[in-house]
Amino acid sequence: MTEFNDDDVRTRAFQLWEEAGKPANKMDEFWYKAEQQLKEERIKHELKTPDNL
């Protein structure tokens, strides 16, 4: 299982915040969105079957 930590979320949230034009007082929204994206990516990775099956 691929795990992520607060540093991973922080990095992704900062990236999303920058891409959105650095809006004030919205960091919580970007933190939540980053967590959701990382969780979805982890699930997709876990569900992916090997190419050699």
Tell me the one-letter amino acid at 43: I
Give me the pLDDT at residue 52, please. 58
20-31 pLDDT tens trace = 999 999 999 999
* Contacts for 35 with CB less than 8 Å, ≥ 6 apart: 9
Where does the pLDDT of residue 50 fall: very low under 50, low under 70, confident under 90, or very high at 90 and above? low
Q: Bigger pLDDT: 52 or 29?
A: 29
Q: Is 36 helix (H, G, I), strand (E, B) or coil?
A: helix
- 10, 32 contact by CB (below 8 A): no
Q: What average pLDDT score do residues 25-48 get?
A: 91
pTM: 0.77
